[in-house]
Structure 1
Amino acid sequence: MKDFKVGHEIGKGKYGRVHLATNKSSGYIVALKILLKQELKHDKLLRQLEREVEIQGNLNHPNILKLYGYFQDEKRVVMILEWASLGTLYAQLKRQMRFVEKQASRYIAQIAKSLKYVHERHIVHRDLKPENLLIDKQGVLKLADFGWATYVQDFTKQVKLNISLKTNGYNTHNTHYSHFKYSSSLKTICGTLDYLAPEMVKRQSYNEKVDVWALGIICYELLVGVPPFESIGFPLTIQRIVLDEVMIPDYVSKEARDIIIMLLQKDPINRPSMEQVLNHPWIRMYNKSSPQNSTQTKLTKTIITNINYNNC
């Protein structure tokens, strides 16, 4: 941590905290996601972290939060992430209650672009929600938190990582290879209930179409202010997700209503691809040109050049 001046906490998750930090040599600001090794004692959590680092570290898209690298000390694993200064989409939505359709359409377009990119690489995010969508100082939306992300094709991927755990008082630092077996028939229930697709809550096999469903939930939430199937208690929420048709208020436009219904198809086969989403009239109406992020892309390269991970 000696290469960084660590600032205040800007986020907190189930397994770690996120702090604002400045790289001492370059002056650039990043976000440090700090995970305690004691919380990663069980192999299941270690594998999840390894998968998150491997997946997010290989993604490079203006609408995906950049993972620059990671380092560790005796007690912690620290992920070095792009800083999105305007915080989460969730916080912005809570302040505004709901968005006008122009703003909502632009956000949905950016999420769709990030999902198109990850789905083309056979990755499913599995935890798409406003809390995992960040906004940078230019207003560009960033898909973040790949802790539940995985691959959806049948293959084994060998990943060289060096995340070590302190075991029996000794710190093991040997590089090891993690062999991840990925399948097109995913069955793990993960994510946040309000955003889970029917096939997931019914414990059926699923694929990247669960992200499409979650996008539909977010689209509705941005326009209405609450998720469409939110209820008191898990059983009733699950029942509504599986059985209820979405009820859309009259003030939502015909075009927005159409894309919500298209995304929230109970049968995943009937849900659109991200290419179809981006070509929908409601998206095209408000997104004549793609959001630009050239400044952030240049900054990314500078941060990578100036941070010396080996001496942190």
Structure 2
Amino acid sequence: MLTATNKNKMIPAAKMQHRGGDSELLRKHACLNRMQIPSHLPPPTIVAASSQVANSSDAETSAAVARHLELHLGLFEIGRPLGKGKFGRVYLARHRTSGYICALKVLNKDEIKRERAEMHVRREIEVHSNLRHPGIVGFYGWFHDSRRIFLILEYAAGGELYKTLQKEGRFSERRAANYIAQVALSLIYLHSKNVMHRDMKPENILIGLYSELKLSDFGYSVHAPSNRRDTLCGTLDYLPPEMLQSDKPEYTKAVDQWTLGVLTYEFLTGEAPFEDTVAMTHRRILKNHMKPLPASLSPEAKDFVHSVGDFTPILIL
């Protein structure tokens, strides 16, 4: 499931190309509850919700199923597109009855089946529906019809952090430090839940109403109590060496810590530390050789980048 991007296209590994609002107020007034359907129930179509509630009572199970069946597209007014993903689009939406503003992620079932990504979508719903943190985009529910799956998500008014970074070129050290601190707190929460994100990048970090950062897109995330995984997935520029060292990699949640170092470098310079052709990027990562940091950066900033990612600042010629 390894993919690379050119910042607006995701493609399979076999054809990989290199990549070139008040949340608390909304949460209090949300009329939509997260739905957690026990795994022992048959999935509605190609989607099932969290297996972590499999011990729910029959009454709780019936209530959860009822909430799921009550949701449908007619409950929402659909607004402008907010973004585009591999299997569909994300739209601004408003719940007609309450006026609640949210984001509606619409996934196409035929595309999911064609890519054999049913488990990918199941896992996204299972993981995301069990997360609740200010630094993570809220998950409020899901439903489906004959052709599509709909995820009801928190609306992040500031959009993708990637677009802000592209517009400004790079961030100041103070701003980069603030952003990395927020992402680190979200990671601490994820790891406390035994969840690996595995695809952190500026496109998957959203900006809330008050400029707070929120992790999003949990399609590659996994609940791993054993802290051991062996699936090659994510975006090439952000992958750690242990994911690329063999056909059957083995790694821990430390992969997210490596990505935190990559993000820090990108925030400070405007580009990823190993970005090059596909082959050269792969080689740089395996040898742990990033592009040199600008001399204008403070010693503290350089030390942080090197210590978080354990990078060696040597340019491959």
Question: What is the aligned partner in structure 2 of residue 220 from structure 1?
Answer: 265
Counterpart selection for 1:118 from 164, 181, 190? 190
Give the drift of 1:115.
0.3
Question: What is the aligned partner in structure 1 of residue 49 from structure 2?
Answer: none
1:186 matched to 2:229: yes
Consecutive aligned runs of 4 or more in structure 1 exceeding 4 Å deviation: none
Question: What is the aligned partner in structure 2 of residue 210 from structure 1?
Answer: 255
SS at match of 1:256: helix
SS at match of 1:186: coil
Give the drift of 1:208.
0.7
The answer to which of 257-266 and 234-243 deviates more is 257-266
Taking the aligned partners of 2:235 and 2:113, their CA distance within structure 1 comes to: 24
Taking the aligned partners of 2:118 and 2:147, their CA distance within structure 1 comes to: 14
Deviations 1:32-53 (A, max 9, x none): 0001111222694121111111
Counterpart selection for 1:40 from 100, 112, 122? 112
Question: What is the aligned partner in structure 2 of residue 7 from structure 1?
Answer: 79
What amino acid does structure 1 have at the position aligned with 2:230?
Answer: K
The answer to which of 72-81 and 145-154 deviates more is 145-154
Question: What is the aligned partner in structure 2 of residue 91 from structure 1?
Answer: 163
1:107 matched to 2:179: yes
Aligned 8 A contact 1:198 1:266 in 2: no
Q: TM-score, normalised by structure 1?
A: 0.73
1:140 matched to 2:185: no
Give the drift of 1:152.
2.4
Deviations 1:1-50 (A, max 9, x none): 10100011110011121011111111121000001111222694121111
* Aligned alpha-carbon RMSD (Å): 1.5
Q: Any stretches of 5+ residues in structure 2 without a counterpart?
A: 1-72, 313-317
Taking the aligned partners of 1:259 and 1:151, their CA distance within structure 2 comes to: 28
Q: TM-score, normalised by structure 2?
A: 0.72
Question: What is the aligned partner in structure 1 of residue 27 from structure 2?
Answer: none
Taking the aligned partners of 1:43 and 1:223, their CA distance within structure 2 comes to: 36
Taking the aligned partners of 2:253 and 2:114, their CA distance within structure 1 comes to: 27
Change (3 A) 1:249 1:266: closer
Taking the aligned partners of 1:245 and 1:207, their CA distance within structure 2 comes to: 21
Q: Any stretches of 5+ residues in structure 1 without a counterpart?
A: 155-183, 268-312
Between the aligned residues of both structures, percent identity stands at 43
What amino acid does structure 1 have at the position aligned with 2:82?
Answer: I
- Where do residues 137-176 of structure 1 align in structure 2 (5 Å cutoff)? 137-154=209-226
Aligned 8 A contact 1:16 1:35 in 2: yes
What amino acid does structure 2 have at the position aligned with 1:29?
Answer: I
Counterpart selection for 2:310 from 260, 265, 279? 265
Give the drift of 1:189.
1.2
SS at match of 1:71: strand
Taking the aligned partners of 2:132 and 2:161, their CA distance within structure 1 comes to: 21
1:25 matched to 2:69: no
- Where do residues 233-312 of structure 1 align in structure 2 (5 Å cutoff)? 233-246=277-290, 247-265=292-310
Aligned length: 237
What amino acid does structure 2 have at the position aligned with 1:28?
Answer: Y
Deviations 1:161-206 (A, max 9, x none): xxxxxxxxxxxxxxxxxxxxxxx43121111111000111213211
1:51 matched to 2:133: no
Deviations 1:217-256 (A, max 9, x none): 110000011011111x211111011114332111111111
